[in-house]
A and B are shown apart, each in its own frame.
Chain A
């Protein structure tokens, strides 16, 4: 794929965003206004800068990543704009900031490459754990950095800078840092972890000393996230850990151990935490709990069912009646207004993105980069499966974002950085 073809596809996605805004405007009774031009300008600026950065600092990178991400971001932006124009203004800023940081990351890695992640892995692990602990800072103290309680979960940090208040979810960045650490550690200790030297009864286990850092990272991230009540993120991180360990060693025993740990954790969680129980009830029988915990899922089903094959049309449905439509339930909005056609397109785009990411991993010769690309791809793909699965009742609902589509700054920024890293990895392998 040539860079020119890539540029055409990215430009097409930018035009799609502007076209979507135009359609929403027309459907909602307002005419062409500055929003159309602004959206086009922001998309061109954001994706143009990432495009130029890859051309300059990662010229051999895969040309498929950016068009897919631009398309997903365009669809997501149209939905957020359709739901809430004030949120859309913020989302536009977040797209700019995310793209800007991705550009900066490509620039920063221009000489050293992803090698820095290998070299300073313990630094990344420690900073990841510290970031995870940040939301547990007191909610109200003199220091400008404070924890924040949102919907019963301690996932947010607010940073007061003069009159400006910035909120972010450190958990989103943590997943990149932990994947980097794990890929690097596993690449180095692959042999030791693959050799099951010790035996306990019928089971072979690796040398405990070798597995210890992984166990610490597992337990720590899991414990913190459970304490913070972020089930979706803890499940996502945990599964990524297990998957990466399996990818590095090829030992199915790690999958079995991970499944067993998850099973125990799930049963204990369901028995202990009321919010886990209610999630499971709402998943299994949403209409029995219609007035309480099942309401959101039921509204999502109504929205998707009303969308049918071809959808109500952009701006012509009533997705505004779904609680948290712009974050957890973005997918249901697409399904209502663009119909099954839109649902299939969105799921297919994630499938393509996952295929491109794993393609980069499979073609990598360097073990660290192979595992890094696997982890980054897996995190994005699994996150999409978890949240869409929650919306379509394949899985219990976990409150995580749909990558590139949901409203949310931290999530957008983190996913833009993942794209930059994948681009850089694919460049390094081909250069």
Chain B
């Protein structure tokens, strides 16, 4: 009688033993895999509720901080007091979308190490500080504000950095967004709306968008001519109203459809100052495709500029593209046709020229600071490579100063500073041109390199030029930098 009951109990015990085996397999064997699965909501929920380090600008203004969650005393919420102003520069940490920008690149420093991961336990045993560390940026919120105000409601980007060190002082992409709307589990709709917005507010235009550089590319063409000793600033070129494209009936005209300086011939420096297309188209053909391509590459075209964020490669077509097509070469020499550059690429050109020909590694984070306020890491300025010789840099600088002193870029001039630059007004498929100012300001001790791009002419629309729209924005940034 008892035997079948014993067998039934045995069956249940076997079942219970299998439960033990299965739950051990799940919790221990597969545990780490399930715990770290990106679909496991705990991964983000737990991390996001922990305290993270503060991010401040060069003057100590708070750009990102963790504040106690009023609904849950053991948890923190991330806050970005400057909102859209620093959204692209700083990034954000969202429960739903994960970490972006510096929040992602410096996640290891910013996060609290009071998780119970093996490496954190080891750190704890070694007596290391487990509290989150903070970041001090090279960014200056006042200069950033000036750049953002300058762009206003128009689309575009401003990036400015210390040419001697590579320290980024302003980093603005417009339109921007407020990270506060994207941080929570409930932010999916807000994220979708930003994603679908045709103005692309989530796009970081500084590194993620390429534009035709237009006349600002004359910096590259001039550099190639000087480096190849094909010309000096004083070399004279025929001053014609129309440059006939080789092998074509089409012509290249100057902006005002006139000759550069009243006919005859004209110095290269004057042609640069007045941004004469005719002279630079002819100069490009004289330099040749290989020479232009090589100089463009030395400034950084053809590969992403090294940076903590993903950077689009700027493009100068390879020399094969111009074989038996000198017309295309002439147009490319003035930054039209298939030439494309990111704002970061253009500021790199200005910075290399301002730093005697050497391009410095651009960076945003100046210092990592621990919870006690002692500096644990400092970014040392690092040379990337030489873009032009010291002599060429000096010659280009002189020509750029004339542009701002009495050329197309007078709108960028600032009292008390030596300002140098080059304007650009690039034709696009759109009705209005994309307008540029690329240059730098010198206060006697430091040099701030800048690239300003305003899409589709900004407030002035089809009538806009780099000198009328972009140069004044650069001026405002220089003023804020001078006063800070």
Contacts and interface: CB of A to CB of B under 8 A. Distances in A.
Nearest to B26: A304
Interface string B47-74: 0000000000000000000000000111
Interface stretch (A155-163, A213-221, A389-397): A389-397
Contacts of B8: 243, 246-247, 358, 374, 378
Given A29-B72, A306-B40, A382 B27 contact: no
A307 B18 contact: no
Contacts of A318: 41-42, 45-46
Interface stretch (B30-38, B140-148, B286-294, B462-470): B30-38
A358 B41 contact: no
Given A302-B37, A302-B41, A385-B19, A343 B6 contact: no
B4 interface: yes
Contacts of A303: 42
Contact of B27 (A290, A309, A347, A374): A309
Interface string A188-208: 000000000000000000000
Nearest to B32: A305
B16 A347 contact: yes
B9 interface: yes
A355 B22 contact: no
Nearest to A389: B19
B33 A305 contact: yes
A29 B45 contact: no
A144 interface: no
Can you list the 5 inter-chain pairs with the closest CB atoms, starting with the nearest?
Answer: A305-B34, A302-B40, A358-B9, A385-B15, A29-B73
Contacts of B41: 299, 302, 318, 321
A308 B31 contact: yes
Given A306-B35, A394-B18, A354 B13 contact: yes
B39 A290 contact: yes
A317 B41 CA distance: 11
B23 interface: yes
Contacts of A126: none
Given A246-B8, A318-B41, A354-B13, A305 B35 contact: yes
Contacts of A299: 41
B16, B27, B35, B45: most-surrounded residue (chain A CB, <10 A):
B27
Given A305-B31, A392-B26, A358 B5 contact: yes
A371 to B, nearest CB: 9
B445 interface: no
B378 interface: no
B430 interface: no
- For the residues of A in contact with B, the DSSP-based class is helix
Contacts of A344: 20, 23
A340 B72 contact: no
A317 B27 CA distance: 14
B28 interface: yes
A343 B23 CA distance: 7
B9 A302 contact: no
Contacts of A243: 8
B28 A308 contact: yes
Contacts of A384: 16
A388 B5 contact: no
B23 A304 contact: yes
B26 A301 contact: yes
Interface in A274-305: 290, 298-299, 301-305
A392 B23 contact: yes
A362 B31 contact: no
A268 interface: no
A350 interface: yes
Given A347-B23, A392-B26, A361 B32 contact: no
Contact of A351 (B5, B13, B37, B74): B13
Contacts of A250: 1, 3-4
Contacts of B22: 389, 392-394
Given A302-B40, A304-B27, A307-B27, A361 B5 contact: yes
Contact of B24 (A247, A302, A340, A393): A340
A252 to B, nearest CB: 9
A168 B1 CA distance: 37
A339 interface: yes
A307 B40 CA distance: 12
A250 B2 CA distance: 9
Nearest to B16: A351
A303 B27 CA distance: 9
25 contacts: A250-B3, A250-B4, A298-B39, A302-B34, A302-B39, A304-B34, A305-B33, A305-B35, A321-B42, A335-B23, A340-B24, A343-B24, A347-B16, A347-B20, A351-B13, A355-B9, A358-B9, A362-B5, A374-B5, A382-B12, A385-B16, A385-B19, A392-B23, A392-B26, A393-B22
Contacts of A374: 5, 8
B163 to A, nearest CB: 49
B45 A343 contact: no
A387 to B, nearest CB: 10
Contacts of A19: none
B12 A381 contact: yes
A367 interface: yes
A377 B45 CA distance: 41
Contacts of A361: 5
B6, B12, B46, B73: most-surrounded residue (chain A CB, <10 A):
B12
Given A302-B39, A377-B9, A382-B15, 5 more contacts: A351-B16, A374-B8, A385-B12, A389-B19, A393-B26
B355 to A, nearest CB: 51
A250 B1 CA distance: 7
A361 B7 CA distance: 13
A361 B24 CA distance: 31
A154 interface: no
B1, B8, B33, B45: most-surrounded residue (chain A CB, <10 A):
B8
A347 B15 CA distance: 10
A299 to B, nearest CB: 8
Contacts of B31: 304-308
Contacts of B39: 290, 298, 302
A356 B3 CA distance: 17
B5 A370 contact: yes
B473 to A, nearest CB: 47
A244 to B, nearest CB: 9
Contacts of A377: 9
Contacts of B33: 305
Interface string A232-243: 000000000001
Contact of B15 (A343, A355, A389, A393): A389
A393 B22 CA distance: 8
Given A302-B40, A304-B34, A321-B41, A29 B27 contact: no
A316 B18 CA distance: 28
B5 A392 contact: no
A247 B30 CA distance: 39
